[in-house]
Amino acid sequence: MTMQETTTYEPLKGQDAPCRVRVVPQNGGQKTYFQATGYLDPADLCIGRPVEELPRILSIRSPAHHLAAARLLDRLFGVEPPDIAKNMRDALLQSLTLCHHLRNLHLMALDPDDPFPDHRFSAKPAGKRAAKAQRRAETIMRALGLAQDAAAILGGRSDHPLTAIAGGVSRFLKDGYYERLTEIAEACDPLVREIDEFFREELLAEDGPLGHLDDAAVGRPLGATLMDGGIILRDGAGKEMDKFPPENGPEKIEVRTEPWSRLPFALLKGESFLVGPLARRGDESDANGKLTAADGCRALLADLITTAEGMAELYQKKNFIGPAIRTVPETMGTTAWAALEGPAGLIVLGATVDGKGIVESIRVVDPIQINNGVRCRIAEAVVAEGLAQNRSHTDIKRRLENSLLPF
């Protein structure tokens, strides 16, 4: 089937930036556009502000941007945070990773016919499907609640965290929090394993509600990840192609704008690339060189378990006690670059400041821009597959929504 007139899929569930997929008839076929319709340029918020405010301002882009901006401050001021501060930042990052992945998985797991299952008080007993949906939703919510609790303890609050500052963190943990963090890590582990199990065995199964995530495939893109302070670029087969420090980002990462989308596209070696859980697990690339949304979902699940294991190791009192929580800067540079492997993928920040530490320019390259290209291709593949199979508008929209969430 080909489109005779322009079709729009809007809004799309779970998309942080306002966006839509528009399919336009063209030359007897059709062309699919994944369009971001709203976009707030970080430069509009950051230029003219004191540089030390960047962790708080950029946190509205994602909680991980708070930590990336704190790293930028460390480099600008030439300070190294004490071990306890590094541990607290890493621990916060782990809790934010859980929050990010669980939020996306929750949205994917929602049953469109019964999105908020709550059958304990209903007059009729719940059917098997409804009971399972409720159990799944509650398990994800329970894990999310724990992760948010950890993020609030470590970051001051789970969204828009506060505590990462130049040279460390802003305060020691309160007495009762050490034990609480250990309890959280212990409670998270079985929950994320249960989530992994029901996703793989029920939701992602061929006849499961997310079985369709395997239907539309695109060529495996390049993947970039931060490792040992350097950005590593891998090809679709997982082979290392390049490695460079974050400060080489401006010359390596090109940012291109298109007239049909508000959101720019980040390119490496002239190609769009992928960041996030799938790129982090680059050594597990599919042998056939194809990428599906199901691969993205399985990478989220694997990352969830790895993160929970990391929490069990790090969330111990001994890692959060020490003589100092920050190194107070004595000098300030004028330019700095920093990178962070955030929950959704690589974040690269660069800033220049004047003599009073006021931001003169800022560059933010993050998963929102980087994965934009891959999301365009996924959207194109899902629409093409849907039209080839004569699927309904509603069916294609639901498939699009679920397929874009892992990226």
Task: Give the residue, chosen from 1, 2, 29, 48, that forms a contact with another protein under the rule CB under 8 A.
Answer: 48
Q: Please, what is the minimum distance in Å from the beta carbon of residue 50 to another protein?
A: 5
Q: Please, what is the minimum distance in Å from the beta carbon of residue 160 to another protein?
A: 6
Name residues contacting another protein, limited to 149-208 (CB under 8 A). Answer: 156-160, 162-163, 165-167, 170-172
Is 349 one of the binding residues for another protein (CB under 8 A)? no
Is 115 one of the binding residues for another protein (CB under 8 A)? yes
Q: Please, what is the minimum distance in Å from the beta carbon of residue 329 to another protein?
A: 6
Name residues contacting another protein, limited to 252-291 (CB under 8 A). Answer: 259-262
Backbone angles phi, psi at 362, to 5 degrees: -145, 145
Is 57 one of the binding residues for another protein (CB under 8 A)? yes
Task: Give the residue, chosen from 205, 227, 321, 328, that forms a contact with another protein under the rule CB under 8 A.
Answer: 328
Is 379 one of the binding residues for another protein (CB under 8 A)? no
Is 106 one of the binding residues for another protein (CB under 8 A)? yes
Is 103 one of the binding residues for another protein (CB under 8 A)? yes
Which of residues 112 and 322 has its CB atom nearest to another protein in the complex?
112
Is 86 one of the binding residues for another protein (CB under 8 A)? no
Which of residues 17 and 302 has its CB atom nearest to another protein in the complex?
17
Name residues contacting another protein, limited to 15-44 (CB under 8 A). Answer: 15-16, 18, 22, 24, 26, 33, 35-38, 40-41, 43-44
Which of residues 252 and 262 has its CB atom nearest to another protein in the complex?
262
Task: Give the residue, chosen from 52, 196, 295, 380, that forms a contact with another protein under the rule CB under 8 A.
Answer: 52
Task: Give the residue, chosen from 1, 131, 141, 321, that forms a contact with another protein under the rule CB under 8 A.
Answer: 141
Which of residues 1 and 43 has its CB atom nearest to another protein in the complex?
43
Is 80 one of the binding residues for another protein (CB under 8 A)? no
Which of residues 108 and 231 has its CB atom nearest to another protein in the complex?
108
Part in contact with another protein (CB under 8 A); list of ranges 45-53, 198-206, 315-323, 342-350: 45-53
Name residues contacting another protein, limited to 220-249 (CB under 8 A). Answer: none
Q: Do strands 29-36 and 19-26 pair parallel, antiparallel, or not at all (unpaired)?
A: antiparallel
Angle between helix 393-404 and helix 372-388 axes, rounded to 10 deg:
150
Which of residues 36 and 311 has its CB atom nearest to another protein in the complex?
36
CA distance 187 to 181: 10
Q: Do strands 230-234 and 240-244 pair parallel, antiparallel, or not at all (unpaired)?
A: antiparallel
Is 128 one of the binding residues for another protein (CB under 8 A)? no
- What is the number of alpha carbons within 13 Å of residue 276 lying toward its C-beta? 26
Contact, 355 vs 335, CB < 8 A?
no
Is 360 one of the binding residues for another protein (CB under 8 A)? no
CA distance 96 to 315: 14
